[in-house]
């Protein structure tokens, strides 16, 4: 018996050694898993992350928010409306098919039919094939963000997705509820090939042997993604060595992860601004700019970053973070309780008033705590806040109904550009154009005018001036309460070179990850 | 005389069974109605299916296609019509038939329950009996005070404590998930963790956490029952007869202790099922409880309704069978019900 156990044990040891030699495996625990393998079915952070692992875009963002060639090797502006992309040769899809211009056009056209993406593609006229490795992408009007949008143009294998599946349904159908070929099968050009996927449980990927990027430093051969939703469990999984990499790391565990000698914490500032909107249609007092100024002055957002976010966010006084075109250095946070009280008196509200406030409790990092702190801070200038927090599943319908006087919303610009914030959050709400879809009760025609003008301004200096002017107007108007830009946080074993692969978009490029 | 009486009893029994089945169906109706009534309060499933940029108009269109905008009654009747054929709708989140999703998640929960039931039995029996026999010994006192602690600790806390002790600090056991599983029937429905070392290792902490709620209760229950039995006349008589202590304790006393314990065990396992939700959350255990929380958080209302109906029908079914069996065993139950 003893001999048998020994034999089994040594066999086990030998086997485990042979497996670990050479192959670099990576196990990642994230708070959610991508909903499908179809990169065009849903516009969400999780799906875009997956797209960068399994597919490749024409260009992608670098850490410095510049563009890096991927499937496009270079590009040039032909005229006001057209950008010409020269495509990479010798690129293979996972299916073995060869990548060419037809795939770019095919993917572009398919994306336009997706409910989630067609809004973003609204400014575009179309994609035109010049030759096998050249395409022109045209916009309807001059459009400054054409390259920004090209980071969304992931190439799908047109041949692979053409035809009908076993159920007689076209393979390229974009299906939200129900079966479809593209939901469960992939053929991209990306560094990883999906080998197994079980919704909510695991996605297993292996390095694509024919990956075009021979200069890619990444050495992960087997990449497993598991969703671990519970914060404490995710951290424990990293600390115990069950996974190699986690994200996000909850702020209350930063110190724990940092002090452990086997793992490290890496953060990078992100572009998601957290705000409270003040509804002027619901509350007469909020129409007075002095009252709004008083509220903004009463909120100690730097204190919230310190105490609640444990220093892992960047205090904000405007919509877009540093690095975005509209960022204006001179706009500073303005916590000043004395001034806030004076402004309230001046506006004739020395005795304050009562308002309602709503916030989600599982959407943004520490969202409910931020709301509670804000309610308390407003109490100091006599504003009595009735706060209600709820899960995001219920919150967004309340937001649609503008159900409270103050509502929390966080926003990350799809285009990594300042204009996007104003389009959704600050332009006057217009059901027809869709502008101001998430604006609860602020309207300034000047902001609308500038935001629209900035869209088609291709002179970047002029455009920057416009976007900065918008930020200044919003600042002077105290259009919303700015809190901070959330940092992205990653916990990883020490032998992972994490710093090199992260970026403000929260798309860790695992294809480039070096495991030492 | 005897024959006619017998026939009468059979009639009673038949009427009783019919009545119980009608009651069961009624309960199922109510459960599904309640599920349907609350589903709109959970949230909007369309929100979770689309990105934040999708316009309200397009969301409304999707909701229309999904039949979510139909009046309550029409939705409910449609649901019942399908449910009768065994179709409980389609989960938005998993994008599969809801019933299939639930059935695939059930084995994980059942294994968790089996594991913790085993722990409860193997630990509470010896400890309970021992502390009844030797109430003043150090071990008994320790067991008693420790079990008080166990009762008062929430399962959530116990679980996290165990993870930090055994997974993070000692690094002897895994922190989350089910580990390596084996497809038991080869059809993908029952993946068991009982057949691999890795799977068993993953079972240990969740099972201990889950059993921690009921374990103290059972130790105390067995102890007090045993002590009570030890005071009875027939045990005293057995001692007087000069039987060996082992025989008195195990054959005479212990056997009689078990009866009430088994009854309570059955009831408490039902309650333990409720606690699997928290346990599964902390350990990311992919069972029905975990799935339920997912469905709530992501507003997967159709999965939620299906879950309520499935769990409800299992409970109703078990209770109905027990009631009917009871009717056979104990005639007063059904006679009381006949008038």
Q: pLDDT (tens digit, 9 = 90+) per residue, A94-116? A: 999 999 999 999 999 999 999 89
* A431 close contact with B: CB closer than 8 A: yes
Measure the CA–CA gap between A65 and A43, rounded to whole angstroms: 20
Tell the residue number behind the tokens 């990594």, with chain if given. Answer: A416
Tokens of A38: 């179809």
Beta-carbon neighbour count of residue A143 at 10 Å?
Answer: 22
Helix (H/G/I), strand (E/B), else coil: A173:
coil
Q: Which of A14-23, A258-267, B239-248 has the lowest mean pLDDT?
A: A14-23
Cβ separation B297–A393 shorter than 8 A: yes
Please report residues of B whose CB lies closer than 8 A to that of A177.
49, 66, 90, 92, 95
Encode burial over B320-334: b for 16+ CB neighbours within 10 A, e otherwise.
Answer: beebbeebeeeeeeb
Is the pLDDT at B337 greater than 70, yes or no? no
Nearest CA to A454 among A119, A145, A61, A146? Answer: A145
Residue in chain B closest to A227 (alpha carbons) equals B284
Please report residues of A whose CB lies closer than 8 A to that of B50.
42-43, 115-116, 176
Q: What are the Cα distances from residue B216, in Å, to A416, A425, B134, B219, B223?
A: 57, 55, 17, 5, 11
Residue in chain A closest to B45 (alpha carbons) equals A393
Measure the CA–CA gap between A233 and B282, rounded to whole angstroms: 6
Nearest CA to A392 among A420, A424, A367? Answer: A367
Measure the CA–CA gap between A258 and A245, rounded to whole angstroms: 14
* E strand or H helix at A227: strand A222-227
Pairs of residues, one from chain A and one from chain B, whose beta carbons lie less than 8 Å apart: 123
Cβ–Cβ < 8 Å for A393, A345? no
Is the pLDDT at B8 greater than 70, yes or no? no
Measure the CA–CA gap between A422 and A406, rounded to whole angstroms: 18
Cβ separation B92–A119 shorter than 8 A: no
Q: Could you tell me whether strands A353-360 and A406-411 are parallel, antiparallel, or unpaired per DSSP bridges? A: parallel
DSSP of A370-432: HHHHHHHHHHTTTEEEEEEEE-HHHHHHHHHTT-SSEEEEEE--TTSSHHHHIIIIISPP-TT
Q: Could you tell me whether strands A67-69 and A72-79 are parallel, antiparallel, or unpaired per DSSP bridges? A: unpaired
Interface test with B, best of A16, A178, A203, A233 (most B CBs within 10 A): A233
Is the pLDDT at B332 greater than 70, yes or no? no
Question: What is the pLDDT averaged over residues B137-141?
Answer: 89
The closest CB to that of B281, out of A36, A230, A391, belongs to: A230
Q: Where are the alpha helices (DSSP H) in A119-243?
A: 146-150, 181-184, 231-239
Please report residues of B whose CB lies closer than 8 A to that of A225.
none
* A438 close contact with B: CB closer than 8 A: yes
Is the pLDDT at B83 greater than 80, yes or no? yes
Cβ–Cβ < 8 Å for A402, A441? yes
Indicate the pLDDT class of residue A397, thresholds 50, 70 and 90: confident
Gap from B8 CA to chain A (nearest CA, Å):
55
Beta-carbon neighbour count of residue B60 at 10 Å?
Answer: 13
Q: Which of residues 41-80 of B touch A (CB under 8 A)?
A: 41-44, 47-58, 62, 66
Is the pLDDT at A212 greater than 80, yes or no? yes
DSSP of B19-44: HHHHHHHHHHHHHHHHHHHHHHHH--
Tell the residue number behind the tokens 């005479």, with chain if given. Answer: B252
pLDDT tens per residue across span A191-208? 999 999 988 889 999 999
Interface test with B, best of A242, A420, A436 (most B CBs within 10 A): A242
Please report residues of B whose CB lies closer than 8 A to that of A228.
176, 284
Q: Which of residues 350-379 of A touch B (CB under 8 A)?
A: 362
Indicate the pLDDT class of residue A298, thresholds 50, 70 and 90: very high
Q: Which residues 6+ apart lie within 8 Å of B137 measured at CB?
A: B130, B131
pLDDT tens per residue across span A108-163? 999 999 989 988 898 999 999 999 999 999 999 999 899 999 999 999 999 999 99
* A13 close contact with B: CB closer than 8 A: no
Cβ separation B62–A43 shorter than 8 A: no
* A92 close contact with B: CB closer than 8 A: no
Please report residues of B whose CB lies closer than 8 A to that of A393.
42-44, 47-48, 296-299
pLDDT at B1: 40
Cβ–Cβ < 8 Å for A361, B11? no
pLDDT at A17: 43
The closest CB to that of B50, out of A116, A178, A239, belongs to: A116
Per-chain mean pLDDT for chain B: 86
Measure the CA–CA gap between A414 and A505, rounded to whole angstroms: 9
Nearest CA to A138 among A119, A151, A120, A125? Answer: A125
Is the pLDDT at B339 greater than 60, yes or no? no
Sheet holding A82-87, edge to edge: A72-79, A82-87, A134-139, A124-131
Indicate the pLDDT class of residue B104, thresholds 50, 70 and 90: very high
Please report residues of A whose CB lies closer than 8 A to that of B54.
43, 115-116, 119
pLDDT tens per residue across span A407-432? 999 999 988 899 999 999 999 998 88
Cβ–Cβ < 8 Å for A361, A389? yes
Nearest CA to A208 among A420, A511, A514? Answer: A511
Please report residues of B whose CB lies closer than 8 A to that of A36.
95
Backbone angles phi, psi at A28, to 5 degrees: -115, 130
Could you say which DSSP state residue B97 is in?
Answer: B
Tokens of B244: 């060996």
Beta-carbon neighbour count of residue A230 at 10 Å?
Answer: 22
Question: What's this model's pTM, rounded to 2 decimal places?
Answer: 0.86
β-sheet bridge partners, residue A84: A76, A136
Please report residues of B whose CB lies closer than 8 A to that of A397.
43-44, 47
Nearest CA to A139 among A164, A113, A121? Answer: A121
Measure the CA–CA gap between B288 and B110, rounded to whole angstroms: 9
Is the pLDDT at B329 greater than 50, yes or no? yes
Gap from A211 CA to chain B (nearest CA, Å):
30
DSSP of A140-154: SS--TTHHHHHTT-B
Residue in chain A closest to B58 (alpha carbons) equals A115
Backbone angles phi, psi at B150, to 5 degrees: -60, -40
* A122 close contact with B: CB closer than 8 A: no
Q: Could you tell me whether strands B182-183 and B191-192 are parallel, antiparallel, or unpaired per DSSP bridges? A: antiparallel
* A230 close contact with B: CB closer than 8 A: yes
ipTM summary value = 0.82
pLDDT tens per residue across span B202-235? 999 999 999 988 898 899 999 999 999 888 888 8
Measure the CA–CA gap between A131 and A136, rounded to whole angstroms: 10
Cβ–Cβ < 8 Å for A114, A101? no
Cβ separation B95–A240 shorter than 8 A: no
Tell the residue number behind the tokens 């059809």, with chain if given. Answer: B187
Is the pLDDT at A471 greater than 90, yes or no? yes
């Amino acid at each position: 018996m003893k001999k048998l156990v020994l034999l089994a044990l040594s066999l086990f040891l030998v086997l485990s050694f042979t497996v670990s030699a050479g192959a670099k495996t990576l196990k990642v625990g994230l708070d959610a898993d991508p909903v499908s393998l179809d990169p065009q079915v849903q516009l969400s952070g999780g799906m875009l992350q997956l797209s960068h692992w399994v597919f490749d875009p024409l260009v992608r963002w670098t850490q410095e928010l510049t563009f890096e060639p991927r499937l496009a090797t270079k590009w040039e502006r032909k005229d006001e409306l057209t950008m010409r992309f020269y495509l990479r040769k010798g690129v293979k899809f996972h299916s073995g098919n060869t990548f060419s211009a037809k795939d770019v056009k095919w993917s572009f056209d398919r994306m336009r039919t997706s409910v989630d993406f067609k809004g973003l593609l609204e400014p575009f006229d179309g994609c035109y094939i010049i030759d096998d490795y050249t395409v022109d992408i045209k916009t309807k009007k001059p459009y400054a963000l054409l390259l920004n949008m090209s980071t969304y143009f992931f190439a799908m294998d047109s041949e692979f997705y053409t035809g009908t599946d076993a159920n007689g349904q076209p393979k390229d159908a974009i299906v939200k509820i129900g079966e479809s070929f593209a939901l469960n099968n992939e053929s991209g050009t990306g560094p990883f090939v999906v080998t197994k996927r079980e919704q909510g449980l695991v996605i297993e990927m292996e390095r694509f042997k024919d990956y075009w990027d021979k200069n890619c430093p990444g050495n992960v051969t087997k990449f497993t993604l598991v969703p671990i939703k519970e914060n404490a469990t995710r951290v424990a999984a990293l600390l115990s060595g069950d996974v190699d990499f986690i994200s996000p790391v909850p702020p209350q565990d930063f110190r724990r992860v940092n002090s452990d000698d086997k793992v490290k914490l890496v953060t990078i500032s992100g572009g998601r601004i957290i705000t409270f909107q003040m509804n002027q249609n619901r509350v007469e007092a909020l129409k007075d700019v002095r009252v709004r100024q008083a509220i903004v002055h009463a909120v100690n957002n730097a204190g919230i970053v310190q105490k609640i976010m444990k220093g892992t966010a960047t205090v904000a006084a405007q919509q877009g973070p540093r690095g975005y075109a509209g960022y204006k250095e001179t706009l500073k946070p303005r916590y000043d309780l004395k001034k806030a009280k004076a402004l309230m008196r001046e506006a004739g509200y020395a005795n304050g008033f009562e308002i309602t406030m709503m916030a989600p409790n599982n959407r943004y990092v520490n969202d409910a705590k931020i709301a509670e702190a804000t309610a308390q801070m407003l109490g100091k200038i006599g504003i009595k806040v009735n706060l209600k927090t709820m899960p995001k599943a219920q919150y967004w319908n309340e937001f649609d109904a503008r159900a409270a006087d103050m509502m929390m919303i966080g926003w990350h610009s799809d285009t990594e550009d300042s204009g996007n914030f104003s389009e959704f959050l600050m332009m006057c709400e217009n059901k027809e154009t869709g502008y101001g879809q998430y604006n609860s009760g602020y309207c300034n025609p000047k902001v609308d005018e500038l935001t629209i003008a900035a869209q088609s301004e291709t002179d970047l200096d002029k455009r920057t001036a416009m976007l900065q002017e918008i930020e200044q107007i919003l600042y002077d108007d105290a259009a919303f309460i700015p809190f901070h830009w959330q940092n992205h946080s990653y916990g990883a074993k020490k032998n992972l070179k994490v710093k090199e692969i992260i970026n403000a978009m929260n798309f860790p490029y695992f294809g480039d990850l070096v495991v030492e | 005389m005897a024959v006619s009486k017998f026939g009468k009893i059979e009639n009673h029994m038949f009427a009783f069974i019919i009545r119980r089945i009608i009651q069961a169906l009624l309960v199922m109706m109510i459960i599904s109605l309640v599920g349907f009534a609350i589903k709109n309060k959970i949230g909007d499933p369309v929100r979770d299916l689309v990105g934040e940029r999708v316009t309200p108009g397009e969301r409304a269109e999707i909701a229309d296609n999904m039949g979510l905008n139909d009046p309550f009654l029409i939705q409910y009747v449609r649901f019942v019509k399908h449910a009768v054929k065994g179709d409980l709708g389609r989960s938005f989140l998993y994008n599969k038939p809801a019933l299939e999703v639930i059935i695939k998640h059930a084995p994980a929960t059942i294994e968790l329950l089996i594991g913790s039931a085993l722990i409860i039995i193997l630990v509470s029996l010896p400890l309970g009996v021992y502390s009844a026999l030797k109430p003043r010994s150090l071990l008994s006192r320790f067991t008693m005070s420790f079990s008080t602690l166990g009762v008062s600790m929430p399962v959530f806390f116990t679980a996290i404590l165990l993870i930090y002790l055994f997974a993070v600090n000692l690094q002897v056991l895994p922190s989350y998930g089910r580990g390596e599983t084996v497809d038991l029937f080869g059809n993908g429905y029952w993946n068991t963790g009982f057949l691999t070392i890795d799977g068993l290792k993953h079972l240990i902490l969740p099972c201990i956490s889950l059993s921690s709620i009921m374990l103290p209760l059972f130790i105390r229950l067995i102890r007090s029952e045993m002590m009570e039995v030890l005071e009875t006349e027939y045990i005293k008589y057995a001692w007087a007869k000069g039987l060996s202590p082992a025989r008195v304790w195990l054959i005479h006393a212990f056997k009689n202790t078990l009866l009430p314990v088994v009854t309570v065990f059955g009831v408490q396992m039902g309650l333990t099922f409720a606690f699997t939700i928290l346990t599964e959350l902390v350990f990311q255990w992919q069972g029905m409880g975990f799935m339920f929380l997912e469905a709530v958080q992501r507003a997967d209302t159709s999965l939620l309704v299906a879950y309520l109906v499935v769990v409800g029908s299992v409970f109703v079914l078990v209770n109905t069978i027990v009631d009917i069996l009871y009717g056979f065993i104990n005639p007063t139950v059904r006679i009381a019900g006949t008038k």
